A and B are shown apart, each in its own frame.
Chain A
């Protein structure tokens, strides 16, 4: 009997022990801690911290221009500190600088849209390197492109909506001497815009368009009459890069949905992912320019459009794995890199191979009228890097850095001739989903190395909680050691896609901080002495005000108008001292202006509300800023 008991007790204890062990193991928390990587030791942390520390009073080495996505703005950061220095408003209103409220900026923005979607800034280039003159940005939503001056960090031109191009995503990439800024269709439509075609005719009657927007080499002014476009099959043109040096005459665009279909009720993510290879489209823009100048174009909606199925030798397609996202040309211009997105490789085509295939007519056929080159001749390597390659940038030592979205990592690999050519040499994990990747002068002929900036698509809880709306993340990767190291993280406003990073000494000497009266944009309305401030009645219903601000008064400080008057209000900031920015706001009127020192601005409004309405300086300026006010008297009409 006792033997039975003993056996029973043994069986029970064994079973209980197993249950207990499993219950303990079932707690997931310890496993998470185990898999999370261990913390870096303190001395390494201190060294890392010093690398990005820029002491008060010191300056950063680089400017980083981050696109602001659908905020319609551009953010200026300093590198390596990752400090936000400035926001440059472009397509959206920005009362902080008065952008979108004065006549000049209102006219530029137009009255139809007050938002835009900036993805890829492009700095102007001379001989393939940044020259620090202009920053071009595009509007993916409304097919516009804008130019920011880098002497005053203000928007100077907004061009568009440009005809025929739609969902302008592969923009604003640029040729190596800033001859043209690219725009391209991501969402094909029937052209010209306004044409109605049912969606079932997508393949036959929709078109993509590649645009080459002419830039005046002196003024930077973009004009449509010198621009041209290329009419393409309805593929989705994704990203672009201009050729460099040997490949200077060429432009490269990636495309997905070479399936050329859009099916009602069927997600494009499936439709556009059927082919194993899509294309990098190579355009000989120099030849296209010549053909257009010889009259080989058709005017569609007022712009010259070239049809590559009718003019040979302009457009070629290079098969590239798979729905490729970014296309990036190496600093020597010799290799064209397609980032696989849906394939774990980057495809490297050689420019020489491309020319050879064209010269020997080594074609595999035509796809929707576009000549497809034999990839066996163009392709020199498929470099396996990891999951979801999106973008590649370069350093000064012959290495390329590719962002891996799915894997959340940056892969370093060698593109230049050497022992490890076409091999990955390092990989570093990023703590969120990486999107674009940027490096100082990364996509120019003279990359500077030092840093790689990892921009993000999803910040994945890497910040203090701020509710359902999230900031974005960017991490700074130090290239100084043998292994890449992530050493800093910042949280920019939504939503930077790409960034251009340029050495500060290229920009800084060109920047002015006070307008002299030669470059005051509205100098004809300027008031340079307080006694010249005046109110002029132009006609029965119009009053023109010439006003001025200088510490700490607004001249005139009483402005009387009749109810219903249209008020044209010129305001000059008379300061000659840097940072003496004044503002002007009228209480309960939607008027705000922020003229910078030496600048004259014009605001227009209708004085529709009778009464006494104070106006004041909205931008803190001095110890007596609070006293800087006046009154708008609006007399009721009988």
Chain B
């Protein structure tokens, strides 16, 4: 079993590292909005390192620029690529991906546990600051704006109604790859911990 696990551990951690790195290639989250005058919708996708047009913007009425133009009427700040999360998250993801690959081959238990710990921290940071930014974009509205709306929480998932717009928002492939990679890393660490505990027990039972 230990022999088999030696290979399994390498495969899982390397795969986790690759998946985490691959999460940069796709959006993490998207929001689409439709109304009568935007029949093909407008929308925005958020990558780990930038806000951007959705990948299918060519088939739509508009992307992030149009969203910003509309948002300015209600006093919402433009979606900024300069947010601190777009600096920390990509660095964190690249570092995590590489560290996971290193952990695959450099078989130190403390190192694996540290990397998985870092992974957890990064996950908590990413998720909480994402929710925080979404919240503050919907709440930190310029009181001098032409159209006054009550502060609102932009919908994170599924179909919703926002003024004249039907919205659809969802987490995208990037988030899934990140979760998948992280899950692999956690499972690997879990198995490692479990085997370690079993071996310890076996040792103690011999003595």
B176 touches which of A1, A18, A273, A342 (Cβ 8 Å): A18
Interface residues of A in 17-43 (CB under 8 A from B): 18-19, 22-23, 25-29, 31-32, 35-36
B132-170: CB near A (< 8 Å → 1, else 0) gives 000000000000111100000000000000011010101
Q: Does B207 contact A (CB under 8 A)?
A: no
- In the assembled complex, the Cα of A359 lies from the Cα of B95 at a distance in Å of 78
Partner pick for A19 among B12, B166, B180, CB 8 A cutoff: B180
B173 contacts partner chain A, Cβ-Cβ < 8 Å: yes
Contacts of B37 in A (CB 8 A): 408, 430-433, 458, 460
Residue with the greatest number of chain A CB neighbours at <10 A, chosen from B4, B172, B176, B184: B176
> Is A11 a contact of B36 with CB atoms below 8 Å?
no
| Docked pose: A42 CA to B38 CA in angstroms | 26
Given known A4-B5, A35-B166, contact A26–B36 (CB-CB < 8 A): no
Contact residue among A23, A25, A409, A460 (Cβ-Cβ distance under 8 Å from B38)? A460
Chain A contacts of B102 at CB under 8 A? none
A12–B10 CA distance with the chains assembled, in angstroms? 15
Closest approach, in angstroms, between the C-beta of A167 and any C-beta of chain B?
20
Q: How far is the CB of A547 from chain B (nearest CB, A)?
A: 54
In chain B, what residue has the closest Cβ to A431?
B36
Which of chain A's residues 255-278 have a Cβ closer than 8 Å to chain B?
Answer: 269-270, 273-274
Which of chain B's residues has its CB closest to A407's CB? B164
In the complex, what residue of chain B is closest to A267 when comparing beta carbons?
B146
CB <8 Å contact, B164 and A408:
yes
A22 to B175, CA, bound (A): 10
Q: How far is the CB of A45 from chain B (nearest CB, A)?
A: 19
> Can you name the residue of chain A whose Cβ is closest to the Cβ of B143?
A274
Query: Which A residues touch B32, using CB under 8 A?
Result: 28, 31
Interface pair A25/B170, CB less than 8 Å apart: yes
Q: Which residues of B contact A27 (CB under 8 A)?
A: 56
Q: Do A274 and B1 form a contact, CB below 8 Å, given A29-B56, A32-B34, A32-B41?
A: no
Q: Which residue of A lies closest to B37 (CB)?
A: A408
Task: Tell me if B8 counts as interface (CB < 8 A to partner A).
Answer: yes
Q: Which B residues lie within 8 Å of A32 (CB)? A: 34, 40-41, 59
Most chain A beta-carbon neighbours within 10 Å: one of B35, B39, B43, B168? B39
B171 interface residue, CB < 8 Å from A? Answer: yes
Interface string of A417-443 (1 = CB under 8 A from B): 000000000000111110000000000
Q: Give chain A residues whose Cβ lies under 8 Å from the Cβ of B163.
A: 387, 406
Whether the pair B173, A19 counts as a contact (CB closer than 8 A) is: yes
User: Distance (Å) between the CB of B94 and the closest chain A CB?
Assistant: 21
Find out whether the CB atom of A408 lies under 8 angstroms from the CB atom of B35. Answer: yes
Please indicate the chain A residues that have their CB under 8 angstroms from the CB of B8 in the complex. Answer: 4, 8
Complex Cα gap A28–B159 (Å):
13
With a cutoff of 8 Å between Cβ atoms, the chain B residues found around residue A432 in the complex are: 36-37
Quick one: CB contact mask for A379-415 with B, threshold 8 Å, 1 for yes?
0000000110000000000000000001111000000
Question: B88 an interface residue at 8 Å Cβ cutoff?
Answer: no
The distance in angstroms between the C-alpha atoms of A194 and B121, with both chains bound, is 68
A365 close to B (CB within 8 Å)? no
Q: Please give the distance in Å from A382's CB to the nearest CB on chain B.
A: 16
Question: Chain B CB within 10 Å — which of A35, A269, A342, A458 has the most?
Answer: A35
Say whether, besides A8-B8, A273-B147, A407 and B35 are in contact (CB < 8 Å): yes
Chain A residue contacts of B59, Cβ below 8 A: 28-29, 32
- Pick the contact of A26 from B145, B170, B180 — CB < 8 Å? B170
Asked if B170 contacts A273 (CB within 8 A), the reply is no
Sample of 4 further A-B pairs with CB below 8 A, known A28-B32, A431-B37, A461-B40: A4-B8, A26-B173, A29-B59, A408-B36
Can you offer 5 A-B residue contacts whose CB atoms are under 8 A?
Answer: A5-B4, A35-B168, A342-B146, A430-B37, A460-B39
